[in-house]
A and B are shown apart, each in its own frame.
Chain A
């Protein structure tokens, strides 16, 4: 594979909540144009890793670099403006606000491109256009996931981090969501995805990492991980 630019690099990251070590010495890389999957069980530290990369938490040690610049320690809003964004676990849409308001919030730091982005987002997700004045609470789980992804797109990101997109969604809907992520990747977005659903996510990804109790235990291409007996036993149940 031709070497491509490393967009996000996490090195030896250590994060703790009080006395609990959430992450101990985690390193990973996401290159431009890739879909990278982070597999792990509940409590493995996936959400912590994504949130710390965005700048929500302060790591105790280690670094996060985005496009070659050190971003660990910078507030999240600066990193969002730099092109990194996060679709949080549980969708993180503002239930009391309208679909349109949610989308506009995504463009909070990028108002110049808002019209253009809105048009594109409505092309991707026509149903959001239909429901643009509806309160987000009235959307179904799958629709909310689409809204959350659409909102991330409104900030014209380079790298989209998605935390557990399949959580709480029916299998058919999960397929739709993954298809959307693949299409977005084909359009040029780089995606870092954290998932418990190893099989479906590895099938769309280029590479993956396995996170277990705060440590990376395995990494490789998606095919390698799919074939790995340990991964199969723990996460795919084959």
Chain B
């Protein structure tokens, strides 16, 4: 029972990270109207940037966070013109070509990481920051400080994003474009600059996610980007592309499922089983549980 509770808590941390990733992905899908397949790889890149900053500034955490956010935003804004150009190439917005472009970007990022850092081997974050002292102990349940922070920040971030989307002017503009870009234009919402804002926002989110992942996992590797990307994309299919509340539910569910599997089964199988579950659900419902928006 205690293992169960411990793993559920772990699962919520992991799940909130998935939710944030799916939300950032959906933001780009709905507002910028692109499929950014390698959004998680941008996030992993930011993790590396954070690690570099930590190393060369003697573990200056705020600076690392800033650098991580900056890196994500920079990459997103830099790739925005590429995506925009692709979308203008065809008469109808062919969203598949944005997916292929983002795969290309992902290829580049992953391989740069494989070559440029530690010969492609995983790198770990300083123990003092991740915390190897349990902050909370109850029988078998022990929470590292890193996990607590990541859970708390994760929950806050998810709430923050949903608040932004549903209660602010900017969020309204995002949702309007998501529902009907032409209608949004008629109300005087500038499509281009709002689209760019979604790149920036998902970049900020990405930088934060990078920090959370670093706290939660304590390490990063080039392959992490692809691994997380495939899971997150699986989640977004199951939840229904563009379905924000759905993403919340399915993301948390996956996190908890993975954590539970990790609690009871040895290492590399947890990923495989998670993928198997995703695969089965997708095969049964190729258009998602709650229906596709696209």
Contacts and interface: CB of A to CB of B under 8 A. Distances in A.
A and B touch in the complex (CB under 8 A): yes
Interface string A71-84: 00001110111000
A71 to B, nearest CB: 13
A105 B186 contact: no
Interface residues of A, number: 27
With most chain A CB atoms within 10 A of its CB, the pick from B173, B179, B185 is B185
Interface in B148-206: 169, 172-173, 175-176, 179-180, 183, 185-190
Contacts of B183: 88, 92-94
Contacts of B179: 94-97
A51 B186 CA distance: 8
Interface in B134-151: none
A51 to B, nearest CB: 8
A25 B149 CA distance: 66
Contacts of B189: 77, 105, 108
Contacts of A81: 188
The interface residues of chain B, by DSSP majority, are classed as helix
Contacts of A95: 179
A151 B187 contact: yes
B186 A88 contact: yes
Which has the most chain A C-beta neighbours within 10 Å: B172, B180, B186? B186
Contacts of B186: 51, 54, 56, 76, 86, 88, 92
Interface residues of B, number: 14
Nearest to A91: B183
Given A92-B183, A94-B180, A95-B179, A104 B188 contact: no
A56 B189 CA distance: 11
B77 to A, nearest CB: 21
A65 B183 CA distance: 23
Contacts of A75: 190
Interface in B72-119: none
Contact of B172 (A56, A79, A101): A101
A85 interface: yes
A109 interface: yes
A111 B169 contact: yes
B283 to A, nearest CB: 29
A79 B176 contact: no
B178 to A, nearest CB: 9
Interface centre among B175, B176, B187 (most CB of A within 10 A): B187
A155 B172 CA distance: 15
Given A92-B187, A94-B180, A95-B179, 17 more contacts: A51-B186, A56-B186, A76-B186, A88-B183, A88-B186, A94-B176, A94-B183, A96-B179, A97-B175, A104-B169, A104-B172, A105-B173, A108-B169, A108-B172, A108-B187, A108-B188, A155-B188
Interface of A: 51, 54, 56, 75-77, 79-81, 85-86, 88, 92-97, 101, 104-106, 108-109, 111, 151, 155
7 contacts: A92-B180, A94-B175, A94-B179, A97-B172, A105-B176, A108-B173, A108-B187
